[in-house]
Amino acid sequence: MTAIALTKSATEADFVESVDCLIIAADTPRLTELLSEEHPVYSQKSTAATARMRAWILVGLGRIGLCHGSLIYVIEELDTGIEPYLVAAAAVALRSYPSKERTFARYLVHAIENIRYHDEPVNYERYGEYSEDESRTAVTEILESLEWHGAGMLTNDEMTFLRGLPDCHQEIVSRLALRADSHSTSCCEIPEIFGRFSLPSGRQVNEAALGAVLFEDQDGSVFGFREYFRGTSSIVAFFYTRCDNPFKCSLTVAKLANIQRILQKRDLQRPVRVAAITYDPEFDDTTRIRVYGADRGIEFDSHTKLLRCIRGMETVRKYFRSGSNFIGSLINRHRIEAFVLDRSGEIVATFQRMRWDEEEIIEFAVDHAEGCESVQRKNISHARSHLRRFFMGLLSILPPAAVAFFPKCPFCWAAYFSAVGLSGLELAYSPWFYPVLWFFLCIHVVSSGIRSRTTGKLYSFVMAVAGAGLLVLPAGQWSKLLAIGLIGTSSLIGSMEHQRSRLKTTARSRSSSEFVCSADDNEETP
């Protein structure tokens, strides 16, 4: 059975058939691809149907083994999801991940906080089946994932929260309490597993289409994309007023209000614009977006606006690669997404899915607001820093290198003296010294041969023989100088190879001893 292509016209039955085929084939990449909010299979599906479909994909990934590429969708659901059936499916999928990251416990506890007051029974044996077993709820699934994780990183505050759950969950909570650490950390801290931002990968909209886009702000003023998003950097997020998830649109606009307050306290030469664009311009008129923004702390001015697109909304979605889908004009699914635009209106940073940090996004925007001059200054500063590190590194290398090249044994010294003496000294008054020099040179050649045989490298031995041969042959002064160079280089290479061989032998012996110790430890471990 082959998975069918899922298009906008696919029914839920088509979807289930295709996903089941992908699960049987263990096709993780294609299953993960189906989790993209903008996938056409979610078009014109209800919010409930979209949640069921995504939950079935997560359950399938859990059956074949969750990979790192799919993990972001699971963590996102645990962090911001409010649909019990879908959140519990994410918790089930997490149990198939090959490693138990220390941060998983915080996300699982946060997921319980998100759904505890509207918990419901769940069953994943068949697609969309409603569970009649009220003892197995979404919170139960999350608690079992916590038990799988080990609960070693649960804090006192988190354990106190779990003890406040209904009695039906206390059996699992009591088992968790036996394995929890006794340390204190705020349960509200959400740890970071993934990088907060990513870089864009090319524009999908041409300049003419972007130039045709028109916005209307909360006061009814109309302007184009170029008019507002050029000249300085901008922070842009998406929202819509009918969003029922407090961790997405409402929190996003509240964070933009906080960004506005932070920027007002800074003495910036060039202001940073802040804007939020509604997904739902047909419903979100100027009055609604003005009230929505004001209720969440936005103080509207020329650099801070909430916008509705009155022409070219599809172009805006393509330009920002918006992760959203619709049933009619209603949003059935969207992700958290914020962007930093540079002075020309190009996207330079994207923050998606996970909750972003205001200070981090401000730093990106301020850097790009300062423009090319700031970038050049930073590039020069980085270049100087790299140059300084290069010279400091060079200074740290030269003394050890000098020591390495300096002769360390009597035979090396003998080679130097014998080569120089035989080629350049006037020894008419001491003819007996010639045999002595030749004796030392022979010792050097023999020792080079022995070292080469030991190390398996013949460079030093070949150079020693060639140098000795040049000394024997009647030739001019240049050949004598070449002989000195060959013999000296032979001595240095031989010395360095000998030291390297000793180091490797030492490293192997240490590695062997560590392996033996490790094996002994494993044998002693019950």
Specify whether the CB–CB gap between 176 and 146 falls below 8 A: yes
- Give the integer Cα–Cα distance in Å for 181 and 174: 13
**Is residue 67 part of an annotated ligand binding site?**
no
What is the edge-to-edge ordering of all strands in the sheet holding 337-341? 222-224, 214-217, 304-311, 273-278, 234-239, 337-341, 347-352
Q: Rounded distance, CA 517 to CA 503, Å?
A: 21
Consecutive sets of 10 residues in the chain, 526 residues long: mean pLDDT of each? 80 95 95 94 94 96 94 94 96 94 90 95 90 87 92 80 93 84 46 49 72 95 93 93 94 95 82 94 96 96 95 94 88 92 90 84 81 50 58 56 50 52 46 62 76 68 77 65 72 60 48 42 44
249 among annotated binding-site residues: yes
**Encoded amino acid at 118, one letter:** H
- Specify the pLDDT at position 206: 80
Which residue from 315, 304, 282 is spatially nearest to 213, judged by alpha carbons? Answer: 315
Phi, psi of 67 (to 5 degrees): -105, 170
**pLDDT at residue number 456:** 65
Give the pLDDT confidence score for residue 109 in this predicted structure. Answer: 94
Measured distance between the N- and C-terminal CA atoms of the chain, rounded to whole angstroms: 48
Q: Is 52 helix (H, G, I), strand (E, B) or coil?
A: helix
**Helices (H), ranges, 286-370:** 286-295, 313-320, 358-369
Nearest to 360 by CA among 262, 495, 489: 262
Joined tokens for residue 210: 């972007």
Give the contacts of 8 (CB within 8 A, at least 6 positions apart): 40, 41, 43, 44
Cβ burial 50-83 (10 Å sphere, 16+ → b, else e):
bbbbbbbbbbbbbebebeeebbbbbbbbbbbbbb
CB 412 within 8 A of CB 499: no
Identity of the amino acid at 112: I
pLDDT at 419: 52
Establish whether 444 is an annotated binding residue: no
Q: Write down the pLDDT at residue 425.
A: 45
Contact partners, residue 314, CB within 8 Å, separation at least 6: none
Query: Phi, psi (5° rounding) for residue 239?
Result: -160, 175
Q: What is the CA radius of gyration of the chain?
A: 36
Confidence at residue 405, expressed as pLDDT on a 0 to 100 scale: 47
User: How far is Cα 5 from Cα 29, in angstroms, rounded to an integer?
Assistant: 14
CA 112/CA 163 separation, integer angstroms: 12
Helix (H) or strand (E) holding 305: strand 304-311
Please give the distance of CA 34 from its chain centroid, rounded to a whole number.
22
What is the spatial distance between Cα 8 and Cα 223, in angstroms, rounded to a whole number?
Answer: 33
Residue 332's H or E segment, with its range, is strand 330-334
- Reference 361, options 266, 259, 440; nearest CA is 259
